[in-house]
Amino acid sequence: MEARPSDPGHHTAPDHRADQHTCPSHSLAGPHLGSGVTRPLALTRPIPQETCLSTRAVIARPTADGYAGMYVHFDGYPDSKLPLLLAAYQHRFAGDVEAMARHLIDEVHHGWEELGTDLLDGAPAGLRRSLTGGEEYPSRQLTNLYNTDGTPAERELITQDGTEDLEWAYVLHESGIEVIGLLAYDRGPVVGWDTDPRSRIVADPGAWNPDSPAPVVPPRTAPRLSATAPSLAPAPRKAARR
């Protein structure tokens, strides 16, 4: 099991390299793909310090019988991914879920090594700082992938039938993001697209019961003060004595 920060809902200044564990130096084991075939994803470049994140996830669009999408290797927890995806929909993709799906799924050959702060392009500076703590890092696709027999890996989508090695699934619906904690459920609640990306998000897969509200708590906001002082009610007039 991977170590997690003591406060799983906090993501004000996330460290996308924070929850590390030892990984093989020669390969990153890939997910079971839709065909049922396991294809280790061997990276030709070394993994720094023999460590990597492997909170594996899939970002998908709904299909007639489930969903299909692309593998994401690094830091798939919802307190990391949901803020990025919500802010990306609201700003970079201006509410166009299909354009967002094309970028995250259709225009990717093998999958994502990690999703970066370029998804926040167009977001207000204050929101960007709130989500990143000032840290900037680009999205990176998986490259130079080979099968165990040395042949180049082919592009394949991950479906609901090929998630045995994954922990989270994010399905991009018209109404919002369905978040599936795959260690506990095969469906999940939908987080509406209008959700504040700064919300407090629980990272425990058992909390994402499909029959319960999503464990997302909006940020506290200070009461808005009026710019003008309220007018005082006139003092009651004494009745004239007769």
Q: By residue range, what is the domain housing residue 66?
A: 21-217
Indicate the number of domains in the chain.
1
pLDDT for the residue 235:
52
pLDDT digits (tens, 9 = 90+) for 102-122: 999 999 999 999 999 999 999
232 occurs within a structural domain: no
179 occurs within a structural domain: yes
8 occurs within a structural domain: no
pLDDT for the residue 14:
38
Question: What's the predicted TM-score (pTM) here?
Answer: 0.72
2 occurs within a structural domain: no
14 occurs within a structural domain: no
> Above pLDDT 90, what percent of the chain?
65
Flag whether pLDDT at 16 surpasses 50. no
Flag whether pLDDT at 87 surpasses 70. yes
126 occurs within a structural domain: yes
pLDDT for the residue 49:
33
pLDDT digits (tens, 9 = 90+) for 34-75: 443 333 333 322 333 333 447 899 999 999 999 999 999 999
pLDDT for the residue 29:
41
231 occurs within a structural domain: no
158 occurs within a structural domain: yes
Flag whether pLDDT at 22 surpasses 90. no
pLDDT digits (tens, 9 = 90+) for 117-143: 999 999 999 999 999 999 999 999 999
Mean pLDDT of 194-204: 97
Can you tell me the distance from the alpha carbon of 85 to that of 98, in angstroms, rounded to the nearest whole number? 13
